[in-house]
């Protein structure tokens, strides 16, 4: 088990072999938890692991797949509609 020293700034250096084994890069953030044995460091994960299929439920479209041209046309129609609505209020 490696031994590390606490610096005057309160910093610990995690040995390179452990950083490499865990794929920890500079700037990695950790949660520090106080446990009966001392301190426990856990890498902070900004987001839980998700799959593309997990997010598809929020799109609200259940019809056949659209082509890029069809999507572009739909976007253009919405922009045109919104612009015309804005012109009515002027």
Say whether pLDDT at 50 is over 90.
Answer: no
Average pLDDT of the residues in 61-72: 88
Average pLDDT (62-88) is 91
Residue 14 has pLDDT above 70, yes or no: yes
pLDDT of residue 10: 95
56 has a pLDDT exceeding 80: no
What is the average pLDDT across 62-68? 87
> H/E element holding 1?
none
Confidence (pLDDT) at 57: 67
């Amino acid at each position: 088990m490696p031994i590390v020293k606490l610096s005057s700034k309160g910093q610990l250096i995690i040995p390179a072999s452990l950083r490499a084994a865990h794929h920890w890069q500079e700037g990695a953030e950790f949660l520090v938890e106080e446990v009966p044995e001392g301190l426990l460091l856990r890498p902070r994960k900004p987001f839980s692991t998700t799959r593309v299929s997990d997010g598809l439920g929020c799109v609200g479209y259940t019809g056949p797949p659209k082509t890029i041209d069809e999507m572009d046309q739909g976007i253009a129609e919405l922009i045109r509609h919104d612009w015309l609505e804005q012109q009515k209020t002027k």
